Each structure stands twice: as C-alpha cells, then as structure tokens.
C-alpha cells in the first residue's frame, strides 16, 4: 500500500453570477432589514473576499487614504490586501 497514491481531486468549479442574478441578489439585500448585508455583499462581489474575511474586518483594516482593505484573517493564514482592480499592488 505504500506505493499506492491517492488520485488528485478536481479543483472546484468557477462560476460567476449572471448580470440578472447579481441584480436580483443586490435587490434582495437592499430590501433586507439587515443594514449590513448590502455593503458586505457588494464588497464580496467587488473583491472576491470570503464571508469570514468580511465579517472579521475592523475599521483599522480599512485605509481610506490608499483605498485598500487589509485582511489579517484569511483562509490560508496569510495577510491579503484588497484594492480596486488595477489600482494597487502590494
């Protein structure tokens, strides 16, 4: 059994919301009683940040001057910087 290797698992699928799906999602967020859901979803859609990365953000992680957000708690444990695409490279 030492020479038997485990087959590689296929990578997860990559899927983006259609324009219609995105609009319906944002409309539902705007209609929600939770005032935090819309900005959180917009941030996720704009940056690709994960749910827990967004939920664990603090104001000190947001740099308005440089227009970046620093994520300290990421899935792989490394610090990551979010910026408008093409605006900033860390």
Q: Which residues contact 57 (CB under 8 A, 6 or more apart)?
A: 69, 71
For residues 35 and 37, what is the distance between their CA atoms, to the nearest angstrom? 6
Q: Can you give the pLDDT at residue 73?
A: 80
Is a pLDDT exceeding 90 seen at residue 87?
no
Q: Can you give the pLDDT at residue 85?
A: 59
Domain ranges of the chain: 19-83
For residues 53 and 50, what is the distance between their CA atoms, to the nearest angstrom? 5
Q: How many CA atoms lie within 13 A of 9 on its CB side?
A: 3
The better pLDDT of the pair 15, 59 is held by 59
Is a pLDDT exceeding 80 seen at residue 64?
yes
The candidate with the shortest Cα–Cα distance to 68, out of 50, 55, 82, 47, is: 82
Q: What is the pLDDT of residues 9-56, one digit of tens each?
A: 777 778 889 999 999 999 999 999 999 999 999 999 988 899 999 999
Collapsing DSSP states into helix, strand and coil, what is residue 88?
Answer: coil
């Amino acid at each position: 059994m030492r020479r038997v290797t485990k087959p590689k698992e296929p990578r997860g699928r990559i899927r983006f919301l259609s324009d219609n799906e995105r609009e319906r999602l944002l409309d539902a967020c705007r209609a929600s009683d939770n005032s935090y859901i819309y900005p959180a979803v917009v941030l996720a859609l704009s940056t690709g940040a994960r749910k827990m990365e967004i939920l664990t953000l603090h104001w000190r992680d947001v740099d308005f001057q440089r227009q970046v957000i620093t994520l300290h708690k990421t899935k792989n444990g490394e610090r990551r910087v979010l910026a408008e695409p093409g605006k900033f490279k860390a």
